[in-house]
């Protein structure tokens, strides 16, 4: 499955700051995903083991998330 990612470098950087901050304060991955939903984002796990940040409710892919956020 091919993922088309809509990227704007400035917007992606701003969103990644929010994502990283929320991961740092969340006690679990489940809480992190819930917190991101409050901002209008979701994380989709792909078939090849990658994680893609998407908008809610339309599921437009924004960027691939680095693996270090999941460890």
pLDDT exceeds cutoff 60 at 4: no
Report the mean per-residue pLDDT for the chain: 88
pLDDT band at 13 (very low <50, low <70, confident <90, very high): confident
pLDDT band at 5 (very low <50, low <70, confident <90, very high): low
In angstroms, the CA 18 to CA 46 distance is 22
DSSP SS3 for 57: coil
Q: What is the mean pLDDT of residues 8-34?
A: 90
**19-49 burial by CB neighbour count: b if 16+ within 10 A, else e?**
beebbeeeeeeeebeebbeeeebebeeeeee
Q: pTM above the 0.85 mark?
A: no
pLDDT band at 34 (very low <50, low <70, confident <90, very high): very high
């Amino acid at each position: 499955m091919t993922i088309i990612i809509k990227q704007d470098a400035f917007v992606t950087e701003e969103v990644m700051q929010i994502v990283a901050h929320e991961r740092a304060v969340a006690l679990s991955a489940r809480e992190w995903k819930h917190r991101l939903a409050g901002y209008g984002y979701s994380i989709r796990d792909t078939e090849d083991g990658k994680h893609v940040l998407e908008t809610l409710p339309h599921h437009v892919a924004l960027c691939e998330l680095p693996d270090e956020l999941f460890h």
